[in-house]
């Protein structure tokens, strides 16, 4: 018995094999790995094992193998160096950096001038100076994005999308932080709001609320909507676009890089296409995408302005004798109350397009609702070019339109 007791040495950290310990450490977060350095000499050595830091560099900073090779540093030193620069943004950096990387990769072959308009990242001291200037703290995810790119030069087209309809044109630039600070609002109705974007054609901006005030939640992004019937200039309603800067920016980028927003003539057009909003009649397919225009809408009085883009395409496999010309259109327009309006007329936007095999015709038009949502459907009437007395209808799929969530101004509620 005594011999057995002398043979069973106490189990200590120093006596445990290395591989199982490294496996355990591989499940720890970077904070816990750093804390391990202060437990014992052995754990300090093991927690500095460089492959352990590879996962954290990729997870938090999106550092690739190529970047590591270029910088000729070990993973741990890369993590520490990056943390010393942008560590305060560790909860936001990966999502924001990925969005920027995805956006630039997608736009470079399609809109190279837009990518060239992006400015280099701002410095921490620049952002601190802006906070001192406006007397408010900037959201950390906003600061994080501006460390990567400090907005863009004021150019057309703007990074945050365009919209063209008849004689109305909008293109929104992402403001650099100094220009945004110059537009920081202290007046009633937009108190503590910082502009994110600006359109030089319409004066339209999207704002972020850097403080909770006047019924706004801190950090939410919105379009302002002045109450056209109020005498009080502080009566400004809001169309809410995002709950936070990250929510706003990443959702926009996802729409762009997924092809949800079409790129036309080097511009991002903010039309949303529902994949199910397609109708095929014979050899002709009609699809629809829509967009809400806040700058032409109001909550009070209720007037919600929408534009839609129609694509009419004939299959390339259609027989040549199937070529035809559009004669007229019929619309059935229904608002959220169930009220129906019927519209019938010649052509579309003053044109009578000819469709032939493989040919595509696109046009934009608009409608308004007195309710926050509604839908349209209908048909086009065509005649064959080779059989002019033979006419037929082509279905237009039902497409729905709904304005973003809005919040009524407190100034109007209390008046």
166 and 148 in a common domain: yes
- Which range, of 18-32, 83-97, 365-379, averages the lowest pLDDT? 18-32
CATH label of the domain that carries residue 389: 2.60.40.1470
pLDDT at position 406 over 90: yes
Which pLDDT score is estimated for 275? 87
- pLDDT confidence bin for 1, thresholds 50/70/90: very low
In a domain, 336, yes or no: yes
389 and 250 in a common domain: no
110 and 82 in a common domain: no
Which pLDDT score is estimated for 255? 95
pLDDT at position 415 over 70: no
Tell which of 259, 284, 305 closes a domain.
Answer: 259
Which pLDDT score is estimated for 7? 59
Tokens of 340: 């129906």
Average pLDDT over residues 46-67: 94
Tell which of 59, 89, 119 closes a domain.
Answer: 89
Average pLDDT over residues 195-221: 96
- Which range, of 11-25, 172-186, 206-220, 338-352, averages the lowest pLDDT? 11-25
325 and 309 in a common domain: yes
151 and 49 in a common domain: no
Average pLDDT over residues 2-9: 54
Average pLDDT over residues 26-51: 89
101 and 80 in a common domain: no
399 and 278 in a common domain: yes
Averaged confidence pLDDT in the chain: 93
CATH label of the domain that carries residue 188: 3.40.1580.10
In a domain, 14, yes or no: no
162 and 229 in a common domain: yes
In a domain, 36, yes or no: yes
Which pLDDT score is estimated for 241? 96
Instruction: Please tell me the total count of domains within the chain.
Output: 3
In a domain, 65, yes or no: yes
Nearest one of 268, 161, 266, 253 to 206, comparing CA atoms: 161
Which residues span the domain enclosing 225?
94-259
Average pLDDT over residues 139-145: 98
pLDDT tens sequence across 63-105:
999 999 999 999 999 999 999 999 999 999 999 999 999 999 9
- pLDDT confidence bin for 388, thresholds 50/70/90: confident
In a domain, 187, yes or no: yes
- pLDDT confidence bin for 387, thresholds 50/70/90: confident
- pLDDT confidence bin for 235, thresholds 50/70/90: confident
Which pLDDT score is estimated for 2? 47
pLDDT tens sequence across 238-285:
999 999 999 999 999 999 999 999 999 899 999 998 888 999 999 999
Tell me the pairing of strands 173-174 and 236-242.
unpaired
Q: In the chain, what percentage of residues exceed pLDDT 70?
A: 96
100 and 85 in a common domain: no
Tell which of 34, 63, 89 closes a domain.
Answer: 89
- pLDDT confidence bin for 41, thresholds 50/70/90: confident
In a domain, 7, yes or no: no
345 and 221 in a common domain: no
In a domain, 13, yes or no: no
- Please give the residue that has the higher pLDDT: either 227 or 9: 227
Q: In the chain, what percentage of residues exceed pLDDT 90?
A: 80
In a domain, 53, yes or no: yes
200 and 121 in a common domain: yes
CA trace torsion 47, 50, 56, 60 (10° rounding): 120
281 and 198 in a common domain: no
pLDDT at position 11 over 70: no
Tokens of 171: 């293109």
Which pLDDT score is estimated for 356? 97
């Amino acid at each position: 018995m005594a011999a057995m007791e002398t043979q069973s040495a106490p189990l200590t950290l120093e006596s445990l094999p290395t591989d199982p310990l490294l496996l355990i450490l591989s499940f720890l977060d970077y904070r816990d790995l750093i804390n391990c350095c202060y437990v014992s000499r052995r754990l300090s050595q093991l927690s500095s094992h460089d492959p352990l830091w590879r996962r954290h560099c990729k997870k938090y900073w999106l550092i690739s193998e190529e970047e590591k090779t270029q910088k000729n540093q070990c993973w741990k030193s890369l993590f520490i160096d990056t943390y010393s620069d942008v560590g305060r943004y560790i909860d936001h950096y990966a999502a924001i950096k990925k969005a920027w990387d995805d956006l630039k990769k997608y736009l470079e072959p399609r809109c190279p001038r837009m990518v060239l308009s992006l400015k280099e990242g701002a410095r921490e001291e620049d952002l601190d100076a802006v906070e001192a200037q406006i007397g408010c703290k900037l959201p950390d995810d906003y600061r994080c994005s501006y460390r990567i790119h400090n907005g863009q030069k004021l150019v057309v087209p703007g990074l945050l999308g365009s919209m063209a309809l008849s004689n109305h044109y909008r293109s929104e630039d992402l403001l650099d932080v100094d220009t945004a600070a110059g537009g920081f609002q202290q007046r009633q109705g937009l108190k503590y709001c910082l502009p994110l974007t600006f359109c030089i054609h319409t004066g339209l901006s999207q704002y972020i609320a850097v403080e909770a005030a006047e019924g706004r939640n801190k950090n939410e992004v919105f379009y302002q909507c002045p109450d056209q019937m109020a005498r009080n200039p502080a009566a400004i309603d809001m169309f809410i676009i995002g709950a936070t800067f990250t929510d706003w920016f990443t959702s926009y980028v996802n729409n762009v890089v997924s092809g949800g927003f079409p790129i036309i003539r080097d511009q991002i057009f903010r039309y949303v296409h529902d994949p199910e909003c397609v109708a095929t009649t014979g050899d002709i397919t009609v699809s629809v995408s829509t967009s809400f225009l806040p700058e032409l809408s109001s909550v009070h009085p209720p007037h919600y302005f929408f534009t839609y883009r129609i694509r009419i395409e004939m299959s390339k496999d259609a027989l040549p004798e199937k070529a035809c010309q559009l004669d007229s259109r019929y619309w059935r327009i229904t608002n959220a109350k169930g009220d129906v309006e019927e519209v019938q007329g010649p052509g579309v936007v003053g044109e009578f397009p000819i469709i032939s095999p493989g040919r595509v015709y696109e046009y934009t038009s608009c409608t308004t609702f007195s309710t926050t949502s509604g839908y349209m459907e209908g048909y086009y009437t065509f005649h064959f070019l080779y059989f002019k007395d033979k006419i037929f209808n082509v279905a237009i799929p039902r497409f729905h339109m709904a304005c973003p969530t809005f919040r009524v101004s407190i100034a109007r509620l209390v008046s």
